[in-house]
Structure 1
């Protein structure tokens, strides 16, 4: 499970630092051999996890295969640090199908075992587990060039608070493996007596398949990977039509010289009832505006036709639609919006199939004609879906004038959703058109399938259930809330809202929204609580969204020193890599990492810390501009706070960057008092015994600088 015990645990500590508080997956530490004091670590071939959560109790079954690539048989100690936030029972372990005898060590005994490994110069990541009980078992023999399959099962009560369940499974120790795992798969089956609402992972991109209101299957799968963080899953339950729940976090008091910040952070989860009655679902008015200019010829026009036909076939009863295509001129399917009857849909499909790609790109007239077709109905969401693959070349081509014309032509609360196809699109124009009017921009790169992108998007917006959303946080005094403008809520979707709050306590959160022609009001008791070590990801997720919003302001509206200063501060404090904090990735080796930052820099005024553009204006079109637009949107809508950079770690409210082999706290300043601490020395362990919270930071490696209680602790061998 790694190339050496040092790399085994060194890799683990990187993952743990990014994941915050964690329990650990099982791993094997090879015992010394005569003449071989440090045998090579084992490789993990695969890691499968099946979880069943029923009535708040999770039964977790783990299946791993370990490979000994050494030329001699090995004996190993299998360690499984038990979850620290839940009671564990019925712990069972099998090796190659046979039950294995082991025992559970209490925290103090486990601490002594970890310390003995560290004194043998095993890497410090084991410090991550010093506050947990430990299951230990002897595994022998592990045959040379052979395998051992280990399976285990345990049950635990899933932590539950205020309607939110929080399940965590540790994947991060698999970074101990010398080679990437062939496959990692996690499947969680949820079975709840109450209706499930939001299902959310802050750590991994998950697939959620719902089976009615009370059951769902959550899955994550990846191949050829070294997992670097725990798998976290939150799910909420509620009988209400719209479930609303909060996760909160208040940072601990900061040390001297730090930036005092007593205000809290919150993540609000909002999701509609899965089986919301048809009578509560809203019809919609939707206009499709599709580019048929000459540059759309070939596969693009065929994919666009298939995507448009998919949308037409999936219109709901009660919907109205309009359809127009454009090149140099604009052509309407019908003079006005029409009900989505089978006959109208069939005629629209015929209209679509007859379109051919030819001519220039008259974006101005296409947008204005599409907006003219909107005839708002009270309480009914109105949308315009606009697709183009080019820059404006016919008619009015000045971006400022097009935007001004859209302002005048827009009717009511029409949302504009935009698809930019390829790299030759004006990202500033498309993002302003969508962002200013409650929609989003989606960019389809040349190597991506347009039909899949558009069809997936339409599925998400097909059935609105609550429009014109507003939130009131009562006495919590919320501020810096993102997104700034709340989108409509659709069947099968969920909304994540991040923000800050000044006052702690129990307050009432009020949700308002339009259902049909009526404005409805929903109230929810909410606990804006204090510090919670299980939600340390919330501040960084909030900061990621805010940075995304600020970068978008710079990209679309020009240089602003105050915004740059705030981006820089947030980036350094929370470990968010931007062109203004590029020093965070000086030692980054992940492929494409620096290139992504450079693309974003090319789209910003002055290029951030990468310098200017040689006198040229920031990129608004081309590959770098499209890459930048996608990065900014990803930040603005971030559901996970992991930036994916190997040289930046966020641990328990602190950010560390790797520089010259040292993990350095970004709060460190050279003029601070310093205290040298020799790694794995008596002083080192005495300090950890006195200040247990330091273990999270020391787990980063043998060379660490951390600011603690007004001084810099400098750990080195």
Structure 2
């Protein structure tokens, strides 16, 4: 049956030409170099043009592109995009083989590769190289993601659709294989490497364990993102790497001069970190598009992204400090808000919000994130309550750059914390919003739980904002530094800040320099200083230069989008010049390679083959569809009306699977589409931790009632009977809740720690008698042995 043969096939069921992908990852400290080799083979009897649209990390710097045909290797050049496209078309029309690699105009994490005029029976290997920084996670792991899943990007209504069509097949049916190997080296010992996929055991290459190799277990199909977490000992030590310039480049240019990359990990005083603020405006923006109805991961099918998000919002609301302000928005094709404007956080407003959160479903259609953001930013800020924006999305939008620019425009009035949920979330969108909004990005993939990652970001949001950040250099006479990185907008306790600078001039004397970052925190001045050796590191290639070039290119591109007229053309010229000089991709340039030695003019029309990319299909109960439909129909032969057979066509930004019959076709534009799902009478049991949290009052205490006793596995009478005399019921209930959390839920401490700080503060404010006796009696009742000191009072 045709439904079981998804993907683009000819009428004769001829295979797709991409056969395999080989990836080599080299990690040095916190920078990664990725070399991908894509092997193509044309088994058809006609020349073909293969088109492969694929994701890369949003902040990657693509720096090499070459093709091997037989014994001939052609290395691509970076050229202005229109010029490169014209050269590609000219090459094809004159019978030459050509290869074009370009970044999407809408999002920097989507690339398209065109392999042109591949003759019958011919093979070609494409080599693609990029460098990228590795983000530090909440548990100090460095995260690398090799995206396999390119979710269809939802195009907002009224916007132009992307010029490159995306062909999608179910993830399990991707017809090409992957091999993936990793080499890690660091000044610090490597403690472990973990992955969302099966790995072979880590192999250390030396006795001090600073070098190691690892690779994917055999038989891996490239049907899901590969997430790698690398853990070092002493990962928070500040570092600096000086890299020598390119010998062939002009001295005084970015590529010709040495470049330094400084990695700082500021440490804040404990006195500042221990005080819980009671101010801030917390605006939570939740994606309720249809794809949020997908399972969060494959091992917990019943837990959907939206159900996990509801539980997360419960924890977030219970952890907010009394006296702050908050509001909750949700969006799809339209958007809603719980309150007309942010309200003060108290018992009444918290309960009103929780009642509405319980009813949230993934039923608002597409992913129109720009309009709710515009509405949020149009609301006046509340004096002495800094705005903290939390954005939850599975990140499938086509107007990524417009969203990031809007966040940047409003960065002076808020901090933005972003969360990418599920595989295929746009790293450019999630990282870009956090970077421009002075916040922090988190990704929830594989078996990750959303709650601890979100609570980590809430801790960052509760940290006092760092102000008046300045970077200064102390260098020997004759040497000067030009900072290439955009100004630092946010510094958080324990999080890395990266700074790139170009070093000009030479000194015959001193060989050491230093960089100092000064800032104001909670009204007090602080500084962090790092001394470094000016002598360039050996064999470091041009990785740091390319990352620095990428940083400058991204800043210029953002500037170019927000300016107009003569200035606009001037900035565009700078981007193209730097991109060509550094060999690093940009939105305004493309890599072009032409095999001028290749054969005769093509006889007859070229056949276009769109290489399928994986998507995650899922059931989305109760979701309504927007009228925008993904352009995923079969391309025709050039100059011919004979179409290829496309086994499945899917709506833009939405995938839906019928419960029995596989994919269901979307209804015609303008009509609503509803999926009926069988209602199960059996409700999954409520997580005892979330049950306890849901019973807590806004100011931090618990009431002594049957529901609370049930969480402890007791009756209300048993709990009352154990209470020491003359002790308030709420104080007793609250101490029991603290003991239960410390006794039975220490593995989830990251999730409940903030809300228990409120409880401890509330108990202290009651000046309650006999607290020690209560702790002793509580331990006896619950069968625990928790010390009074660890409870926070």
Looking at both structures, which has the greater relative contact order when contacts are Cα pairs under 8 Å and sequence separation is at least 6? 2
- Classify the TM-score, shorter chain: 0.3 to 0.5
TM-score (norm 2): 0.37
Q: Relative to total residues, which structure has the larger strand share, 1 or 2?
A: 1
TM-score (norm 1): 0.40
